[in-house]
Chain A
Amino acid sequence: MHVNCRNAQPHLGDLARGTPATGRLASVKAHLDGCPACSVAFERTRRLQSLLSLKRHESPDELIARNFLPEFHRRLYASLTRRRSFLSRMRSFFEAEEGLPVLARGLAFASAVFLSLFSLYTAHLSMQTGSTTVVVQSSNARPSATMKEVAFERFSGQHPAVYVLDRVSYAPRMDETSVLSF
């Protein structure tokens, strides 16, 4: 593969650490031999990694290491005997490191929420019947409808609907009766 400065530089860390130069790294190494800028970048990366490796000498306190297991037992016992809130259990379920992927769990949960809300919405719509009705018959009725009524008409086609009187502003003519059908 052709190696240029742009695609060589992300691999300098591997070379600087002494990873055997095979495959792609061999191409990167060959590029370094002919590119002064990348050679300088390589040297700076190597020095940086060498500097960072000194942090391995910052070892944890022996006291922490010695008391670790007893403290772990204490915390484990406390966690097993503590009643966990619903939220805490849900959080653990979604944060599990293996098993059903997080995305699948999220989608399942979102689907359950959506279905619940949709069921509530359709139940709410069916509860619209049974409210106070006014039946007025008129072929020329032209009530001024509210936005809710317009939306309902759009989605439900020719299905008749009954609305609470105070949501419809209608002025029938004095000499006739009308049926409002939406």
Chain B
Amino acid sequence: MGDPRPQPPTAQDAATTAEVEYDRALVRRVQGGDPRAFDELVERHKSRVIGTLYHMLGNRDDAADLAQDAFVRAFQSISRFRNESSFSSWIYRIAINTALNFIRLRKAPALSLNEWAEDVEEDPAWKELISRESVHKEMDRGELRERLNEALQKLSKDQRAVVVLHDIEGLRHQEIAKILGCTEATARSRLFYAHQQLQTWLADYL
């Protein structure tokens, strides 16, 4: 009954399309009565969801908590999911909406940040940053991390969502618009004004 168990995509596949189709097969299995397929969806998407929520909230414990809520809500609504959009976009949407509601209700943000992995120093972006004469060569990584997160938290929640999805998660405007339930033009506009503000607050590092 239902689809035969799908094979995970190989390295040679066009990654995005294959991943989307694999997710769709898993969703069909869940809707067909196999809840264990949802466990696999959780495993495939949990890191991105936790990461997105962490960047939105600046607090790792809240991010983990809300990520759990997002997946529980997704499971409760899975029968209504039409499988027309990708599961990835859908779970992003649930997670972002959960975060936006949380931000609206909480009194003040409380930063609780993860450390940067050691491989940050191998990142070309980092090397370029410290190579600039305008940037203090002995710049503290911890200080930069805090300044970045404080600047993000100063943005409005809608602007922060677009910055997180576009600049950190690397999504395109088309997908961001679907996730946020707005037009592409609105997403672009929010990103543009968010960038203007961030450039002011982070001028020391640009």
Which chain A residues have a beta carbon within 8 Å of chain B's beta carbons?
A: 9-14, 17, 44-45, 47-61, 64-65, 68-69, 71-72, 75-76, 79, 92, 95-99
Contact = CB atoms under 8 A, between A and B. Distances in A.
A51 B206 contact: yes
10 contacts: A45-B195, A51-B205, A55-B55, A58-B113, A58-B114, A59-B117, A75-B72, A92-B76, A92-B77, A99-B82
A54 B119 contact: no
Interface in B32-86: 39, 42-43, 46-47, 50-51, 54-55, 60, 63-64, 67-69, 71-72, 75-77, 80-82
Contact of A97 (B55, B93, B113, B116): B93
B123 A68 contact: no
A50 B128 contact: yes
B162 to A, nearest CB: 10
Nearest to B47: A65
Interface stretch (B7-15, B18-26, B102-110, B185-193): B185-193
A162 to B, nearest CB: 53
B113 to A, nearest CB: 7
B202 A51 contact: yes
Contacts of A9: 192
A166 B173 CA distance: 68
B115 interface: yes
B43 A97 contact: no
**Which of A53, A59, A69, A97 has the most chain B CB within a 10 Å cutoff?**
A97
B123 to A, nearest CB: 6
B123 A69 contact: no
Interface residues on B, range: 35 or more
Given A48-B199, A60-B60, A54 B80 contact: no
Contact of A96 (B39, B54, B55, B77): B77
Interface in B142-191: 144-145, 148-149, 163, 166-168, 170, 173, 188-189, 191
Given A51-B205, A64-B64, A98 B77 contact: yes
A60 B50 contact: yes
A71 B39 CA distance: 12
Contacts of B189: 10
A17 B172 CA distance: 10
Contacts of B168: 52-53, 55-56
Contact of B166 (A12, A13, A98): A13
Given A49-B167, A56-B168, A68-B64, 14 more contacts: A10-B188, A13-B167, A47-B205, A53-B123, A54-B120, A55-B148, A58-B115, A59-B51, A69-B43, A72-B42, A72-B71, A76-B72, A92-B76, A97-B77
